[in-house]
């Protein structure tokens, strides 16, 4: 079952049928029993016929007052990339240690006001010369630390800024238009399959200049462990979204250009597409 946030209401897709419900987003998405309750709700409704028009004109990022957080160095490929970008600054050892540590790297990524959704523009920093997208499975978590769904995240990153000094990570990772999420939330009663593929394609002037893929099962850490550490000493009254790290990193010679189109596809969820402004 998929949930789309639109400016006309919450659009539910189930068994190739669409239903529009009049619910307040933050109360809807924080329900621990959202799957069963939504099934019960739409069973009393008639499907709509204009879903394409709503999705084409009215789609919004699937986030309200939820905070967006992110995890780092959860895949071996990410560990290698972080070590490489920070070696001249002598910070590579930090990434090797956090990859093997019990405690994960967690950092604040964005509020809803700074985030963008499907078909909206992401940004690269004006003071950065080495920028990449990071395709990430993103967890949708209730105030009670329950994973109720999944979406797609693009963790835009300025690699030269973080590589200069690991303490610059907040500036490399958090700025206007640095977080893209969407297009929907995939609700599931069962944990996502470890075989789930995460794919990225970067298109420049009509040509694919980078593509790659990984699987959720390549992640070193358990999704529930990431949630446990995030919620250990913090409360989230409206729930949260948690990007879970990247296992696909472009080569060191690559940087994003204005006008590039970033397409991230995750099995069962769909494709998140953003243009670099």
SS (H, E, C) 1-46: CEEEEECCEEEEEECCEEEEECCCHHHHHCCCCHHHHHHHHHCCCC
Do 84 and 24 share a structural domain?
no
What's the pLDDT at 97?
A: 80
Q: Is 80 exceeded by the pLDDT of residue 76?
A: no
Query: Of 120, 157, 161, nearest to 136 (Cα)?
Result: 157
- Give the domain-ending residue among 58, 75, 101: 58
**CA-based nearest residue to 275, from 193, 151, 154, 168:** 154
**For the residues 154-165, what does the mean pLDDT come to?**
95
Q: What is the pLDDT of residue 78?
A: 64
Number of domains in the chain: 2
Same domain, 195 and 250: yes
Structural domain ending residue among the three candidates 58, 75, 91: 58
Specify whether 36 is located in the same domain as 73. no
CA distance 194 to 211: 21
User: Which residue, of 40, 58, 76, is where some domain finishes?
Assistant: 58
- What average pLDDT does range 3-19 have in this prediction? 98
Query: Do 247 and 126 sit in the same domain of this protein?
Result: yes
* Burial group, residue 253, by CB count within 10 angstroms (0-12, 13-18, 19+): exposed
What pTM, to 2 d.p., does this model score? 0.94
Comparison of pLDDT for 82 and 232, the residue scoring more: 232
CATH number for the domain that contains residue 185: 3.90.850.10
pLDDT at 175 > cutoff 60: yes
Where do we find the tokens 């070193």? 220
Q: Which two tokens mark 40?
A: 């019960």
Calculate mean pLDDT across residues 127-149. 98
Radius of gyration of the chain (CA): 18
**Position 255 pLDDT exceeds 70:** yes
Whether the link from the prior residue into 277 is cis, omega within 30° of 0, is no
Q: Do 33 and 160 sit in the same domain of this protein?
A: no
175 and 236, same domain (yes or no)? yes
Q: What is the pLDDT of residue 51?
A: 98
Q: Tell whether the model's pLDDT for residue 40 goes beyond 60.
A: yes
DSSP structural state of residue 48: P
Q: What is the mean pLDDT of the chain?
A: 95
Do 207 and 99 share a domain, yes or no? yes
Range of the domain at 225: 67-276
Q: 174 and 45, same structural domain?
A: no
Beta bridge partners of 243: 70, 138
- The whole-angstrom separation of Cα 8 and Cα 11 is 8
Same domain assignment for residues 16 and 90: no
């Amino acid at each position: 079952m998929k949930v789309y946030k639109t400016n006309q209401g919450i659009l539910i897709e189930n068994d190739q049928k669409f239903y529009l419900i009049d619910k307040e987003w933050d109360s809807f998405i924080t329900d621990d029993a959202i799957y069963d309750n939504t099934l019960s709700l739409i069973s009393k409704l008639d499907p709509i016929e204009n879903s394409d028009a709503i999705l084409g004109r009215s789609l919004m990022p699937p986030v309200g007052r939820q905070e967006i957080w992110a995890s780092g160095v959860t895949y071996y490929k990410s560990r290698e990339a972080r070590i490489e970008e920070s070696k001249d600054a002598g910070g590579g050892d930090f990434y090797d240690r956090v990859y093997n540590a019990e405690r994960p790297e967690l950092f604040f990524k964005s509020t809803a006001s700074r985030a963008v959704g499907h078909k909206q523009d992401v940004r690269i920093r004006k003071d950065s010369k080495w920028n990449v997208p990071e395709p990430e499975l993103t967890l949708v978590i209730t105030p009670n630390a329950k994973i109720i769904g999944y979406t797609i995240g693009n963790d835009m990153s300025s690699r030269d800024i973080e590589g200069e000094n690991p303490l610059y990570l907040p500036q490399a990772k958090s700025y206007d238009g640095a977080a893209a999420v969407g297009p929907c939330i995939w609700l599931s009663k069962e944990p996502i399959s470890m075989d789930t593929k995460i794919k990225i394609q970067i298109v420049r002037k009509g040509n694919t200049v980078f593509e790659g893929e990984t699987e959720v099962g390549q992640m070193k850490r358990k999704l529930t462990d990431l949630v446990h550490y995030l919620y250990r000493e913090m409360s989230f009254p409206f729930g949260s979204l948690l990007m879970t790290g990247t296992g696909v990193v472009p080569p060191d010679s690559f940087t994003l250009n204005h006008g590039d189109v970033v397409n991230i596809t995750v099995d069962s969820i769909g494709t998140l597409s953003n243009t670099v402004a």
